[in-house]
Amino acid sequence: MEDGRAGWSQYLSNDAVGVLSSAQGLLALAHTCARSRYVEPVARCLEQAQNNDGGWQVKHSLRGEPTQISITESTCYCLWALVESGRTEEECIAVSSGAAWLLNTQRRSGGWGVSERSAEAQVIATAFAVRMLARLGNRGAVERGVCWLRESQREDGSWPLDRVVAPSEPDLSPPAPTAHAIIALSAAGVPPTDNAVIQGAAYLRRRFNARAAEPWPSALSDTLVDPQTDSRLLFRHYTTPWALVALSLAGAGLSDPLIQLGVRQLLAQQMPSGAWRCSATVPSSPTVWAAHDTVFALKTVVSIGARILQSAPVLGLTTTSLESMMVNFLLSNGSFPAGAEEAMGA
């Protein structure tokens, strides 16, 4: 609690309530279907933290001069959190005005910048906006965003981090934007058989490092968000969770050795406190975003694994029991408990 506001701080180590971090904390609870007394008061505080233009700022992580400018990624996270808490665009002014801010800040090109004042559209910002507007059913804006993402994909199947580069221009971007682009395309209804998804997934597979603690390297991007005040935001991309989500949405199930190893490496990064290590920050400093990203990834992998099994001729097993088997599978080093294979008809 801070001055009547309820929420979380980015590093879970002080009493400063953040906007983006509070949305991520609420979402982490929502992904686990936790019936927490924290959800509703945090959701109300997110509504109160909304800027007059309909977007949300980043409260404590800016560098340089302070600014209250709305940030695309923060707006998308806050909208996502409010929707997960039960708000709808029809009944909640904060959700409808947040969606309007996203629609109003879409560039003519179809992409979104990190903020309304950013010089260029950016892949991860566009991916988040496409995902959120797809969730809210704004098909026209989503289709233009998908076209921008398609045009931004490089010849090797990847997407760049900070700017749109020529398809054949050498680029050293980390795999994070590629993961987010695939997730956005999936949210927009692009099937796993689409060539953009296939090529992006192939790139993520090539970038997988089985020997690394984080099979897909995390990354930092120092981005100018407000040219008027020279305010910058250091984005920290915890890539492994998002890569696992992207590959799962692209058709990889728990039978895929890469998914199994990636999840086990992710589980191995959990600290005794329940938090997760991430190389994008001091490994001993727990962050709410690392916890959120990991919980979201594990939930997605398990849910998709259960869905794939449900599509097979499996009799007498509910979604809950299938998800329980998926969890046991992940925690038992890639082998089902005795009798489980027979129960699933394997």
Across 172-185, average pLDDT: 92
Phi, psi of 238 (to 5 degrees): -85, 95
Containing domain of residue 339, as a range?
A: 313-346
Digit-coded pLDDT (tens) for 14-40: 778 889 999 999 999 999 887 888 999
Q: Do 189 and 291 lie in a common domain? A: yes
Angle between helices 176-187 and 239-249 (to 10 degrees): 40
**Does residue 4 belong to any structural domain of this protein?**
no
Give the other-Cβ count within 10 Å of 106's Cβ.
Answer: 24
* Confidence check: pLDDT of 170 > 60: no
- Sign of the Cα pseudo-torsion (275, 282, 201, 332, in order): negative
Q: What is the mean pLDDT of the chain?
A: 87
* Confidence check: pLDDT of 340 > 60: no
**Does residue 12 belong to any structural domain of this protein?**
no
Of 134-138, 156-160, 318-322, give the lowest mean pLDDT range.
318-322
Across 57-66, average pLDDT: 82
Q: Do 207 and 268 lie in a common domain? A: yes
What is the rounded CA–CA span in Å between residue 95 and residue 115? 18
Q: How many structural domains compose the chain?
A: 2
Digit-coded pLDDT (tens) for 196-216: 999 999 999 999 999 999 999
* Confidence check: pLDDT of 152 > 50: yes
How confident is the model at residue 92, as a pLDDT? Answer: 95
What is the rounded CA–CA span in Å between residue 150 and residue 143? 11
Instruction: Return the residue matching tokens 């560039």.
Output: 107
Smallest CA-to-CA distance from 43 within 16, 12, 67, 7 is with 7
Q: Which position has the higher pLDDT, 66 or 138?
A: 138
**Does residue 26 belong to any structural domain of this protein?**
yes
- Sign of the Cα pseudo-torsion (114, 120, 124, 129, in order): positive
Residue 271 contacts residue 282 (beta carbons within 8 Å): no
* Confidence check: pLDDT of 345 > 70: no
Most confident of 12-26, 161-175, 227-241: 227-241
**Does residue 211 belong to any structural domain of this protein?**
yes
Residue 60 contacts residue 15 (beta carbons within 8 Å): no
**Does residue 186 belong to any structural domain of this protein?**
yes
CATH number of residue 220's parent domain: 1.50.10.20
What is the rounded CA–CA span in Å between residue 7 and residue 26? 8
Digit-coded pLDDT (tens) for 265-318: 999 999 998 999 999 988 778 899 999 999 999 999 988 877 766 665 544 556
* Confidence check: pLDDT of 164 > 60: no
Q: Do 302 and 343 lie in a common domain? A: no
Q: Which position has the higher pLDDT, 317 or 240?
A: 240
**Does residue 13 belong to any structural domain of this protein?**
no
How confident is the model at residue 126, as a pLDDT? Answer: 97
Confidence of residue 327 (pLDDT cuts 50, 70, 90): confident
* Confidence check: pLDDT of 48 > 70: yes
Instruction: Return the residue matching tokens 């580069």.
Output: 165
* Confidence check: pLDDT of 338 > 90: no
How confident is the model at residue 266, as a pLDDT? Answer: 93
What is the rounded CA–CA span in Å between residue 291 and residue 137? 28
What is the rounded CA–CA span in Å between residue 77 and residue 282? 23
